[in-house]
């Protein structure tokens, strides 16, 4: 589905490196952002084109039922007229692009009389909230555990941390989610006589968030922890780190200024797509906890060949991923002074 994952414009350790005046740098950064945002237009056009073609190549029409009685030919004919599917495919494509350029993403085939835009805007706040909160767990815990494990390599701390990371990466979401529901929902309810338990389903800006956010955060936290550990270990062996120690700098200074700043570059690269994936939703977490987000609706849209809904969600995903990558690229400038954007 998506656009330029991991696209970077890092010019590392260029010999022509020279410091710039801050205002020049701000101007070049703004120009860079504008250029990148403009580039998103052709990227999204091709994403739409590819999705459109694949969608129409997939067998089955939106009106085929999953089983049992099928719609009669007369009804199928009238549905095709109603949603413009009686026109040639190239005409449908041009019409879609024209409308989408005017921010009209059409009517959903599944939900009678609902626009794709209203369905996405209705569900995204839930998905975004849970994803963003999960990201707030992923960054400090993932990076913290990774650095800790690297600094205490081959000690009990390291082994414990990496055991957690391995479990976190290997337990599927639906198992973790269901286990949490059974323990903190059902068991806690029965043991406390109904006084203390977490709500099993739904969305709310309260204890409803606890289980889904933790479940969603687990895998990326484990991934970021492992990545941070590996990259920190790599940095620890660099000569400038040895020099820093030799100069007699405090551990705090060495870790923060010399090790972290360098070891975080690959982590930052991974955090962009991670953020994009988290805020666009997980079908599994949304299904297990019955959260009315858009991760689930994308899958049902694909299953039922709800073409406008598939396209609308794909466009949203590509914009989010492209923007997340752009933010990462800008962050490089601040993390790594050698990086220039031009």
Partner 1 sequence: MHRSMFDFRLGRVLAVGAAMATVAAACGSTPASGPSGAAPASQQVLSINDQTEPNSYDPGQETYTYEAAVGRNVFEPLLKPKADLSDVTGAAASGYTVSSDGLTYTFHIRSNANWSDGKPVTGSDFVYGWKRLLNPALAAGYVDPFFDTNVAGAADYGKVDATNATAIDAFLSGLGLSAPNSKTFVVKLQHPAAYFKWVATLWVGAPIRQDVVESAAGGSFPSSDATKAEAWASNASTIIGNGPFKISAIVPKDHVTLVPNTHYWAGTAAIKQLTYDFIPDANTAFAKYRTGALDIINVQGANVTVVRNDPKLSKQAKLIPRLTAFWMAYNTKRSPLNNQDVRMALAKAIDRNQLTQDVLHGTDKPLTSFLPKGMLGYDNSDNAQSFDAAAAKQLLQKSGVSVADLNKMKLLTRNTTTNQTVNQFIIQQWKTNLGLDIQLNVIDSKTVTKMIRAGNFDIYGPDGWGADYPDPQDWADIFQSGSCHALNWGCPTLPGYDALVQKADASQSASSRLADYKTAQKQLIDTAAVGFLYQQYEYDLIQPWVTNMSITPIDDEYVPGDFYYQGVYIKKH
Shortest distance in whole angstroms from residue 205 CB to partner 1: 14
Does the protein bind partner 1 through residue 55 (CB under 8 A)? Answer: no
- 72: which 2 tokens? 């009669």
* 125 makes contact with partner 1 (CB under 8 A): no
Contact 86, 301 (CB under 8 A): no
Window 204-243: contact mask with partner 1 (x via CB under 8 A) = ----------------------------------------
Of 117, 189, 230, 338, the residue at the interface with partner 1 (CB under 8 A) is 189
117 binds partner 1 (CB under 8 A): no
Q: Which is nearer to partner 1, 9 or 300 (CB)?
A: 300
Helices and strands per DSSP (H, E), number in the chain: 15, 0
3-class DSSP assignment, residue 43: helix
Assess contact for 278 and 216: CB atoms under 8 A. yes
- Find the binder of partner 1 among 9, 30, 70, 99 (CB under 8 A): 70
- The CB-based long-range contact list for 267-270 (8 Å cut-off, 24+ gap) reads 267/143, 267/146, 267/224, 267/227, 267/228, 267/231, 268/328, 268/331, 268/332, 268/335, 269/6, 269/8, 269/328, 270/223, 270/224, 270/227
Helix H or strand E segment including 157: helix 156-170
- 169 in contact with partner 1 (CB under 8 A): no
> Hey, what are 260's tokens?
């972290």
Q: 38: how many CB neighbours lie within 10 A of its CB?
A: 9
Smallest separation (angstroms) from partner 1 to the CB of 103: 17
Residue of 71, 137, 160, 268 that binds partner 1 (CB under 8 A): 71
Task: Using the rule CB under 8 A, give the single segment among 13-21, 65-73, 251-259, 325-333 that binds partner 1.
Answer: 65-73
Q: Does 30 interact with partner 1 (rule: CB under 8 A)? A: no
Q: Which is nearer to partner 1, 231 or 297 (CB)?
A: 297
- Stretch of 43-51, 191-199, 232-240, 312-320 contacting partner 1, by CB under 8 A: 191-199
Q: What gap in Å lies between CA 211 and CA 213, rounded to an integer?
A: 6
144 binds partner 1 (CB under 8 A): no
Among residues 31, 34, 53, 75, the one that binds partner 1 under rule CB under 8 A:
75
Closest by CA position to 292, among listed 31, 111, 63: 111
In the complex, the residues that contact partner 1 under the rule CB under 8 A are: 58-61, 64-75, 77-79, 81-82, 107, 110-114, 119, 122-123, 178, 181-182, 185-186, 189-190, 194, 197, 199-203, 287-290, 292-293, 296-297, 299-300, 303, 305
């Amino acid at each position: 589905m998506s656009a330029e994952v991991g696209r970077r414009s890092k010019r590392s350790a260029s010999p022509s490196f020279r410091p710039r005046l801050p205002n020049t740098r701000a101007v070049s950064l703004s120009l860079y952002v504008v250029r990148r945002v403009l580039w998103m237009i052709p990227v999204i056009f091709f994403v739409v084109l590819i999705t459109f073609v694949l969608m129409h190549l997939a067998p089955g029409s939106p009106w085929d039922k999953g089983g049992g009685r099928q719609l009669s030919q007369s009804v199928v004919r009238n549905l095709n007229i109603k949603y413009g599917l009686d026109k040639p495919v190239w005409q449908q494509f041009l019409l879609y692009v024209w409308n989408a350029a005017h921010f009209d993403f059409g009517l959903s085939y599944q939900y009678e009389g609902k626009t794709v835009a209203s369905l996405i805007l209705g569900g995204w706040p839930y998905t975004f909230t849970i994803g963003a909160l999960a990201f707030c767990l992923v960054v400090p815990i993932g990076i913290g555990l990774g650095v800790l494990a690297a600094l205490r390599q081959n000690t009990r701390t390291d082994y414990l941390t990496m055991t957690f990371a391995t479990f976190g990466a290997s337990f599927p979401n639906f198992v973790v989610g269901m286990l949490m529901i059974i323990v903190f929902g059902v068991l806690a309810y029965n043991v406390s006589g109904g006084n203390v338990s977490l709500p099993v389903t739904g969305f709310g800006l309260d204890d409803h968030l606890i289980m889904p956010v933790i479940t969603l955060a687990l895998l990326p936290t484990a991934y970021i922890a492992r990545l941070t550990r590996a990259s920190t270990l790599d940095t620890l062996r660099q000569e400038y780190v040895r020099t820093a120690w030799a100069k007699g700098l405090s551990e705090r200074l060495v870790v923060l200024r010399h090790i972290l700043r360098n070891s975080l570059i690959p982590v930052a690269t991974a955090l962009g797509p991670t953020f994009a994936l988290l805020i666009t939703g997980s079908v599994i977490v949304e299904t297990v906890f019955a959260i009315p987000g858009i991760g689930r609706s994308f899958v049902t849209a694909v299953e039922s060949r709800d073409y406008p809904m598939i396209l609308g969600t794909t466009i949203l995903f590509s914009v989010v991923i492209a923007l997340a990558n752009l933010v990462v690229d800008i962050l490089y400038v601040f993390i790594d002074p050698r990086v220039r954007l031009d």
